[in-house]
A and B are shown apart, each in its own frame.
Chain A
């Protein structure tokens, strides 16, 4: 705490007279799954549209036939749900092949989905798994980040994150490699 008052004093003396805050930028464009799909594919993710009669567990088996450990933060996915999440050592998720979570909405302009701690229960879950699967409703798309923040402007989350595609790096001679530290793939299951 020692330097707090000194810094604030210096900043107060240095800052210019108040410049007004600009009015917000707004947008009225509509977000849709097509634009979202196109953008997400461009950054290494994929979108799978589910038929009304399809079930998530079957779909997972179809998409990831060799997966061993599948876990989920979605209660209705009984077989995968992390029932012991309250006692679980989060490090033990290290060998998860597929994490299945639900997102609140997707952003068409950049292929990102918004997820909070309430959705993942365990913060590290969408980062530590080898592959990430995200459930999203077909109606849950906004056009851009302005609309996205209108939706979450006053949410009281402890942790929230926009996720756009698999973890990646291009640090070695600008060659794109998917799966830097987090998931090597990201699949969005869109329910109609």
Chain B
């Protein structure tokens, strides 16, 4: 794992050293973005209605989150679950550890949960002698490689099959040189089935929690959450407090959006509704704040709590696609992660809101209509005011802000810039200009759009 002191541009630069890999990463994610488009368009006019509905349900929920949390807790307890509350990551990890100690267990299986990544549960448990096996195939791959997931939905999107073949050869004793996806998946199936059958505790994440019924829903394609939970004596479900929705029937809206936005599937293979523990089983639900109430208090950033973690904003982001998930040095990468992380630590994550072109593509695909690029822009203002923004970008941005605010200066500057680009492109394409990194400036046109428009409009008039 990389040191957390490196910032996004340093880490992105490292990722960009291998150009072929960057193109491959870029194209793979764009392909998933296109699948998302197809799935969304297949619903025709319904799609935009669904997005608005989901956004409004979440807005409503957040405006009564305390009430819904209490309602959820009461119903979950009535269902036979044990509900825990964790103010921060540390308390979350301690609660989980205590449950394991109470049950005298030192081994467990875990399905995908970005919350436990956010809380760094695995390293915490490992230092306490607990063996954690991630059971999502992608997560198992990065776990064996001693890495963190680089994408919230596609944890090992940055890995090539040949590398996975090598990794499995080393850890699962598959034949050297075999990089066939079916073969490797089957090897993982056999390896993980043994874990499902022998571990007594299963941790799962939560996609949605329903206040009305005290149940929660977990969505997977692999079936790993279900294999773990249904074969365990103790099921621990960890969730952020923003996962709540009021009514069970609201799931109709969210499940129609989630998989289509994430991978372009009509729905995930399994949408599992856990309401009561199996007979004889313990069911624990850990509700985690860890900065969420603080984000809720910020009017400008509150909407980020609507996120259903579909990953669509990652797949569409020109910066994410070309810099890789690890360049964000936080559990939830990409555009949404860049809004969430500075809330937890402004200083450490000050670089992230600047890791964006503000093109707005994220906002356009977001199934719950979060104004992602606006929030990134707002974070930049907050961070600049607080004195945390990256130095080189600050100077350039101040110049840009000054130029954009004065139309006269803008056209004057543009005229000179075009001239400079023709005569002395190296003045722009130099190391002092952070925007030039990994980019080629296009040849400068002789005329600006404004000049062109003026000439052509006059032509039309004649």
Which A residues contact B (CB, under 8 angstroms)?
1-4, 6-8, 10-22, 24-25, 39, 42-43, 90-91, 94, 107, 109-112, 123-124, 127-128, 144-146, 148-150, 152-153, 157-175, 177, 179-183
Check A159 against B136 for contact (C-beta < 8 Å).
no
Check B85 against A164 for contact (C-beta < 8 Å).
no
- A157-B275 contact, Cβ under 8 Å, with A15-B62, A94-B193: yes
Check B299 against A16 for contact (C-beta < 8 Å).
yes
Check B160 against A171 for contact (C-beta < 8 Å).
no
Shortest Cβ distance from residue A32 to the other chain B in the assembled complex, whole angstroms = 16
- A18-B64 contact, Cβ under 8 Å, with A7-B87, A161-B273, A181-B189: yes
Q: Point out the residues of chain B lying under 8 angstroms from A112, CB to CB.
A: 267, 271
Number of A-B contacts (CB under 8 A): 237
Check A148 against B252 for contact (C-beta < 8 Å).
yes
Q: Point out the residues of chain A lying under 8 angstroms from B84, CB to CB.
A: 1
In Å, the complex CA distance between A167 and B277 comes to 23
Q: How many residues of B contact A (CB 8 A)?
A: 87
Cβ contacts A to B, 9 pairs, < 8 Å: A8-B66, A13-B293, A16-B63, A146-B249, A159-B275, A161-B273, A169-B138, A180-B222, A182-B227
- A16-B302 contact, Cβ under 8 Å, with A181-B135, A182-B227: yes
In Å, the complex CA distance between A148 and B252 comes to 8
By secondary structure, the A interface counts as loop
- A145-B56 contact, Cβ under 8 Å, with A14-B293, A168-B269: no
- A21-B57 contact, Cβ under 8 Å, with A166-B269, A182-B227: yes
- Interface bits B71-97 vs A (CB < 8 Å: 1, else 0): 000000001000011110001000000
B405 at the interface (CB under 8 A from A): no
In Å, the complex CA distance between A104 and B246 comes to 25
In Å, the complex CA distance between A30 and B269 comes to 23
From B180-188, B332-340, B348-356, B445-453, the one touching the partner chain is: B180-188
Of residues A15, A43, A157, which shows the largest number of chain B Cβ atoms within 10 Å of its Cβ? A15
In Å, the complex CA distance between A128 and B226 comes to 9
Q: Point out the residues of chain B lying under 8 angstroms from A43, CB to CB.
A: 265-266, 269
Q: Across the interface, name the chain B residue whose C-beta is closest to A111.
A: B266
In Å, the complex CA distance between A161 and B86 comes to 28
Which B residues contact A (CB, under 8 angstroms)?
28, 31-32, 49-50, 53, 56-57, 59-60, 62-66, 69-70, 79, 84-87, 91, 135-138, 141, 154-157, 159-161, 164, 181-182, 184-186, 189, 192-193, 196-197, 221-224, 226-227, 230-231, 241, 246-249, 251-253, 255-256, 263, 265-278, 287, 289, 293-294, 296-297, 299, 302
Among A109, A159, A167, A172, the residue within 8 A (CB) of B274 is: A159
In Å, the complex CA distance between A42 and B181 comes to 20
Among B69, B196, B222, the residue within 8 A (CB) of A167 is: B222
Shortest Cβ distance from residue A111 to the other chain B in the assembled complex, whole angstroms = 6
Shortest Cβ distance from residue A101 to the other chain B in the assembled complex, whole angstroms = 14
Check A25 against B293 for contact (C-beta < 8 Å).
no
Check B65 against A11 for contact (C-beta < 8 Å).
yes
Q: Point out the residues of chain B lying under 8 angstroms from A2, CB to CB.
A: 85, 91
In Å, the complex CA distance between A15 and B186 comes to 47
Among B56, B155, B269, the residue within 8 A (CB) of A171 is: B155
- A124-B231 contact, Cβ under 8 Å, with A14-B293, A159-B272: yes
In Å, the complex CA distance between A171 and B302 comes to 32
Of residues B28, B79, B184, which shows the largest number of chain A Cβ atoms within 10 Å of its Cβ? B184
Check A164 against B231 for contact (C-beta < 8 Å).
no
Check A181 against B224 for contact (C-beta < 8 Å).
yes
Check B63 against A19 for contact (C-beta < 8 Å).
yes
Check A16 against B62 for contact (C-beta < 8 Å).
yes
Closest 5 CB pairs of A and B: A182-B223, A110-B266, A14-B297, A180-B222, A171-B138
Q: Point out the residues of chain A lying under 8 angstroms from B192, CB to CB.
A: 181
Among B86, B137, B278, the residue within 8 A (CB) of A158 is: B278
Q: Point out the residues of chain B lying under 8 angstroms from A179, CB to CB.
A: 185-186, 189
Among A11, A127, A165, A173, the residue within 8 A (CB) of B66 is: A11
Check A144 against B252 for contact (C-beta < 8 Å).
yes
In Å, the complex CA distance between A160 and B216 comes to 11
- A12-B87 contact, Cβ under 8 Å, with A21-B57, A171-B137: no
Q: Point out the residues of chain B lying under 8 angstroms from A145, CB to CB.
A: 251-253, 255-256, 267
Q: Point out the residues of chain A lying under 8 angstroms from B287, CB to CB.
A: 7
Check A15 against B197 for contact (C-beta < 8 Å).
no
Among B50, B53, B184, the residue within 8 A (CB) of A172 is: B184
Q: Across the interface, name the chain A residue whose C-beta is closest to B259.
A: A110
Among A18, A153, A170, A181, the residue within 8 A (CB) of B196 is: A181
Check B31 against A174 for contact (C-beta < 8 Å).
yes
Q: Point out the residues of chain B lying under 8 angstroms from A177, CB to CB.
A: 181-182, 185-186
Among B182, B251, B272, the residue within 8 A (CB) of A149 is: B251
Q: Point out the residues of chain A lying under 8 angstroms from B161, CB to CB.
A: 172-173, 175
Among A11, A15, A159, A167, the residue within 8 A (CB) of B269 is: A167
Among A3, A19, A168, the residue within 8 A (CB) of B221 is: A168
Check A161 against B184 for contact (C-beta < 8 Å).
no
In Å, the complex CA distance between A149 and B246 comes to 14
Check B226 against A25 for contact (C-beta < 8 Å).
no
